[in-house]
Structure 1
Amino acid sequence: MYITAALAGFAASAGLIIAIGSQNAFVLRQGLLQRNVGLVVATCAFGDITLILSGVLGVGAVIREWPALLQVLRFGGAAFLAVYGVLAARRAWAGTGGLAPDMGSTSSRRVLLACLAFTFLNPHVYLDTVILLGGLSSRYAGVAQWAFAAGACVASVAWFSTLGYGSRLLLPVFRSSRAWRVLDGFVALFMLGLSLLLLLRPID
């Protein structure tokens, strides 16, 4: 039963995390740059584990009682994504991807702050990870519930490690500045699109 619960947690978490998102795009870019990859992977995994365990412990019920908190995160996240999108657009336009000093590629401190922002300023991460995974875990009791949580945490660590360290396999493609311009152009459109989506679509 415990193995079944752990596999269910792994599958549920993987399904939510692997879907493309701003955090994954950031991890991919840092992996391609080969800068602070360990820090980024550890921060994203730690953030996910914290949120997953919070959901299992019942924090989701608290979030439901404070919908204003999600609205604050909604506008804060939209502003952050807009700024990051504009920076990516500037890199794409100038053709300086991978070289320009920006919040995604300079000091460890800036990388850490950006990573934390991508992790915790996304209101949907609370809906998906804390409330949804927390609710799914409640189907199990006792040790089985924590086995579900462990499986979900393992999925997070496995995914971010694979994305961060595995992206180096794409480095031959990104030896050209044109490839970086395409990537940064995609990141810019994606981040700005997510920002606009957060502003236009209310969070239920």
Structure 2
Amino acid sequence: MLASLLAPATAAATATLTGLVTGLALIVAIGAQNAFVLRQGLARAHVGAVVAICLASDAVLIMAGVAGVGALVQQAGWLLEVVRWGGVAFLAVFGLLSLRRAARPDVLRAAESGAGTRRRAVLTALALTWLNPHVYLDTVLFLGSVATTQGPDERWWFGLGAVLGSAVWFLGLGYGAHRAHRLLSRPRSWQVLDALIGVVMLLLAVTLARTDLG
């Protein structure tokens, strides 16, 4: 009797934990979102707004995947292509601007002091999320597919776990970097960081351009 009463709670807890681990496994990697959150955290610039946007966006996309939107997205090949090339263009421009900052000490000083408007940070965070097809592949398609292996009720707990994984990561990355600000207190350190971010963004743009999303 007790076992039958605890079974639903155990299944929900297992599904939530599975979603948490799966979500973290996908998100803990070098990517456009992570690089930007890291930079904003180190610059102490609008960290709360950037983290909130990344969290909210991931939550919407993950739950959309759990609800089955991924199957509809896969049928809209033209839409995936539009998002793909828009993402390529944005990542390439972002990467080139990062390399430009790395090559100009005067721009580095502004970056070090956390310069930049909240509006610009918000728009950049939105673009790096919603114009990046890899985000759709990871959240809507992949996590949505894994969610279908859970029970009809457990899949929502799986989605909740994935959202919790996203929250743990972005909060830790953004505010952890915020506390590590002194590690990049010299302009030379910012120069290296921006150079690395620029290279990563350009590599992501090339990879995305060569990826068939169909």
Q: TM-score range by the shorter chain?
A: over 0.9
Matched, 1:93 2:109: no
Question: How far does the alpha carbon of each residue in 1:85-125 deviate from its partner, in whole angstroms, 9 at most, with x for none?
Answer: 11111110012335159xx9511111111101111111121
Partner of 1:158: 168
**Equivalent AA in structure 2 for residue 21 of structure 1:** G
Contact 1:30–1:105 (CA<8 Å) still a contact in 2? no
Q: CA deviation at 1:76?
A: 0.5
Change (3 A) 1:71 1:196: same
Q: CA deviation at 1:82?
A: 1.2
Change (3 A) 1:105 1:135: farther
Contact 1:45–1:160 (CA<8 Å) still a contact in 2? yes
CA distance in 2, matches of 1:81, 1:32: 20
Q: CA deviation at 1:38?
A: 0.4
Superposed CA RMSD in Å reads 1.6
CA distance in 2, matches of 1:124, 1:61: 16
- Map 1:187-198; keep pairs closer than 5 Å: 187-198=197-208
Contact 1:85–1:191 (CA<8 Å) still a contact in 2? yes
Q: Where do 4+ consecutive residues of structure 1 move more than 3 Å?
A: none
Contact 2:43–2:111 (CA<8 Å) still a contact in 1? no
**Equivalent AA in structure 2 for residue 150 of structure 1:** L
Contact 2:61–2:140 (CA<8 Å) still a contact in 1? yes
What TM-score do the two structures reach when normalised by structure 1?
0.94
Select the residue among 133, 137, 153 that pairs with 1:123. 133
Matched, 1:82 2:92: yes
Give the SS at the match of 2:116. coil
Contact 2:44–2:181 (CA<8 Å) still a contact in 1? no
Select the residue among 184, 189, 192 that pairs with 1:182. 192
**Equivalent AA in structure 2 for residue 161 of structure 1:** L
Partner of 2:4: none
Change (3 A) 1:105 1:152: farther
Contact 1:105–1:111 (CA<8 Å) still a contact in 2? no
Aligned length: 202
Where structure 2 has 5 or more consecutive residues not aligned to the other structure, the ranges are 1-10
Question: How far does the alpha carbon of each residue in 1:113-160 deviate from its partner, in whole angstroms, 9 at most, with x for none?
Answer: 110111111112111110111111111223311111111110111110
**Equivalent AA in structure 2 for residue 198 of structure 1:** L
Larger radius of gyration: 2
Contact 2:22–2:162 (CA<8 Å) still a contact in 1? yes
Aligned-residue identity in percent: 45
Partner of 2:118: 108
CA distance in 1, matches of 2:154, 2:196: 41
